[in-house]
Every structure is written in C-alpha cells, then in structure tokens.
Amino acid sequence: MTDGAERAGTAEPRPMDARKLAAARLWATAPHRFPYLASALFALPVQEVPGLGGVQVDERWRLYVDPDVTHRWTVEELGSLLVHHVGHLVRDHSGRAHSLGITGAAQARWARAADAEINDDLADAGLKVPGTSVLPEDLGCERNRLAEEYFHAESKIEAESESESEAKGEGESEPKSEPPAPECGSGAHGQRGPHEPPDDPERDGSDEGGPRPRPPEGGLSQHEGDLVRAQVAGALREAARAGIGVVPAAWQRWASDLLEPRVDWRRALGAEIRRSIQSVTGAVDYSYRRPSRRASVSRNVVLPALHRPVPEVAVVCDTSGSMDDDDMGRILVEVEGILQGAGLRRTGITVLSVDAEVHAVSRISRAAQAALVGGGGTDMAKGIAAALDLRPRASIVVVLTDGQTTWPTEAPRNVRVVIGLIGAGPREARAAPAWARVVHIDGA
Ligand SMILES: [Zn+2]
C-alpha cells in the first residue's frame, strides 16, 4: 500500500470509484465464480471512509471503503476482497469471536485465524486477496479446519514461547514479533473500529428489556443477517448440485451445517435405537409362559406375566472400499455402547460385514471383536436381507454406511431399520431410502 504515498499531497482525495466497486461485485458473482454469494454481496451497504487504507466490514454487514483503494486496486482484487469479507459475514466470525470471549490482544490472533479459515479456499480457487495472505500453514495448521482450531493453535504457540522466555529471564522483554494481523473490521473479529457507528444492543441479545432500537441506518439487523446467510446457503447448495461456479468443500460443509444443524450423532442414534426398541417391545405381550411371582400370593388366580421380548439386533457394517476400517471400528464400539445403554444384552447383537456380498456374520460379545472383511462394491440390500434371515430373526437392523450403496426398493416388513450415514463430505452426496430412520454420523 506504499504506492499511495506517490500521490500524497499532490491531489485532492478522489471520490470513490463506485463503478469499479460495482464491477467488482459483478466480477465476484459471475456464474463461473461465486454466483451464490449474490444475495450477500448485494446486501452490503457501502460507506466511504477516506484514509481507512483498505476495505472493512462491520457486524451489521456495512462495507467501509477507502476511496483511494478503488483507484489503486483492480476489479479482480476488489472482487476477491469482497468474496473474502462476505466469508467473514456469512460464517459469523464476529459472533464466534464473541462466544469465545475474544478481546484485546487475542483479537489479532482471532483475525488471523478467521482469515486462514477463508483464505485456504480462495487460494485454491486462484484468488489473490489484497491486504491478507494468512493461510492455515502459516499458523502451523492443516487446511480446511475452523478458525477456532487455528486460534487455539496460535494461542498455544504463544503460551509456549512466553514460558520459554520467562525461563530465560526475559519476562519483561518485548513480545516476539507476531505476524501482522489483517484488519477486516468488526465483521471479522467483533471489535468496533473508530469509523463504525455505535452499535445497538441487539447484537448481544440484551435482556435489559424495553424496545430494541433499530440498527443504525444502512446496516442489517441480526435477523436480516441470518436470512441472508440462509439464502446464501440455499443458493450454494443449488450451485453445487448444478455444478455452477466455484464451490469449495468447506463452504459446502458450512451450508450443510447451517441448513441441517448438527446434532451429536451418538445422542441421535441412541434416540432412534431406543425408539425402535420401544416400538418393537411396546406391544405388550401378556404372556402366560412364565407365571408371575404374584401368582403365589393369590393362589386361586394365575396372573399373566408381563413379557417383554428382548429384541434381536443386527448391525450391518458397510465394509466396501469407500469406507475407512478404523472409523467403522470406532463407530461400532459406540453403537454397542448405545445398545447396552438401551438395556440389550451383549449376546443379543449380531454384526454383519457387507460390501457387495455378506462376508462375515459374528455374534459378538464385544463390538471391537467383530471381524470386518470386505472391500468390494456395495449392496446394503443384501446385508438387510441377511439380517432378516438370521435365527432368531432380527427385529431391529442398524446399518452403518457412507450411503454409496444399493438399497431395498421397499421397506422390509416387520423390522425397524435405522441407518447411520457416515461421512464428513456434503450430506447430499449420501443417500438413504425414505422408509428408514436416518442419523447423520459426521465423525467418529
Ligand atoms: Zn479478513
């Protein structure tokens, strides 16, 4: 940004090149770039801030632009920066910073972490964002993680270097030179800059009562921001389906999380399995097979015993080439825990390894002992059919798969099928039949 000095003092500050900024929005939302960001990019009210030195966003989706940079930077650079800033806003980096309680010195670390979360995808897409080049590897991290992870990695490094310098008696020395923090505005880190208007208390959901003031002119309210996020997520998913534009995997994950809020799969799967057990055993069978203990009390009457059959459970494991053995092993152990927690005996669980064929059937006492063999194509229909051929017949079948499989075309009769769909990729890539109960397992 030193080239700005060339003109310093030689000319009146020029007004913003509004046409160039408009061209930058069109550049960013071109069909082969980020068309799904249009609702966000065109929602940003623009405010000129001479001397700002760059472009920033605030928590109200306002875009602050130093008019000077609209002359110095190309349409491509401005457009790339707009995509970057929209990344801060739709991913709610400021809200996430608030929930981590980030203030003061930690703000710079968060700013770098938030930028790293955005920039890896943009670098992959060939974008060059002026003013920020922080990548996850600069923070000693792998790509495609969340800002929270980058932030904690940075904080850890800092704590270690502080304790090192204390050990050397350098406690009072200057802190080690940190890499420069990008300045993207409160929309990235939640700390209001001097050019930003005083915020309204609505942001923090203030409980102080009374009418909530409207957001300052031009900004979006919390609710309006959420609506734009939902619009972008929906458009992004459509674009990914239709193969339009650049849709990085991390953005797809973000859209999936927003549109289908993640629940702990262990709880969800546990709830489904308990529900299945209830529906299987719920039809109370007043059986005369076992005499009730009370029968001895009322001698003349034989009371029926309340007989609840223990359901037989079969776990069908997809062991095709697309599945990771370690993941499956870990998930299987969790499932065993869920089944036991639901009151099932260990011996009542049968595990079937299935790819295109049924390979191993083991009646297990510990899930970890189950031999998982396979590696070919995938046909879970065969696995479910094999589970129903077991004697005693399974009344609950839990299928663990990545969904890249053939399914029975119709719901199998007299059995509850719970499908655990495993995988970290976009959920639309995984399929399960409508007749089954489905739980998304996002990570083992
Ligand atoms: Zn940034």
Residues 276 and 162 in one domain: no
Residue 93 C-alpha to ligand 1 middle, in angstroms? 10
Give me ligand 1 centre to Cα 37, in Å.
16
Distance 138 CA to ligand 1 centre (A): 15
Residues 292, 330, single domain; the answer is yes
Are residues 269 and 156 part of one domain?
Answer: no
In a domain, residue 232? The reply is yes
Looking at the structure, do residues 305 and 382 belong to the same domain, yes or no?
yes
Ligand 1 midpoint to CA 267 (Å):
36
**Residue 287 pLDDT > 60:** no
Q: What is the CATH number of the domain that holds 379?
A: 3.40.50
CB 314 within 8 A of CB 394: yes
Interatomic CA distance for residues 381 and 355, integer angstroms = 10
Please indicate, yes or no, whether residues 245 and 280 belong to a single structural domain of this protein: no
Last residue of a domain, one of 259, 274, 293: 259
Q: Check whether residue 386 and residue 313 sit in a common domain.
A: yes
Are 69 and 138 within one domain?
A: yes
Judge if 351 and 423 occupy the same domain: yes
Task: Give 98 Cα–ligand 1 centroid separation in angstroms.
Answer: 16
Q: Are residues 279 and 382 in the same domain?
A: yes
For residue 112, is it within any domain?
Answer: yes
Looking at the fold, whether 154 and 272 belong to one and the same domain comes out as no
Distance (Å) from CA 111 to ligand 1 centroid = 7
- Residue 313 Cα, ligand 1 centroid: separation in angstroms? 51
Label residue 53 by pLDDT band (50, 70, 90): very high
Domain of 58 in residue numbering reads as 2-168+180-195+216-259
> How open is the CA angle 262-265-270, to the nearest 5 degrees?
140
The answer to whether the CB of 319 falls within 8 A of the CB of 354 is yes
The reply to whether 363 and 412 lie within a common domain is: yes
What confidence tens digit (pLDDT) does each residue in 183-222 have?
Answer: 999 999 999 889 988 765 544 444 444 444 444 467 898 8
Q: How far is the CA of 259 from the centre of ligand 1 (A)?
A: 24
pLDDT greater than 60 at residue 243: yes
What separation in Å is there between the alpha carbon of 183 and the centre of ligand 1? 7
Q: How far apart, in whole angstroms, are the C-alpha atoms of residue 162 and residue 276?
A: 54
Q: Do the beta carbons of residue 52 and residue 66 sit within 8 Å?
A: yes
Measured torsion, CA atoms of residues 329, 332, 337, 339, in degrees rounded to the nearest 10: -160
Residues 152 and 252 in one domain: yes
Q: Would residue 309 count as lying in a domain?
A: yes
pLDDT digit string, tens, across residues 68-103 = 999 999 999 999 999 999 999 999 999 889 888 888
Domain count, the chain: 2
Strand partners, 46: 63
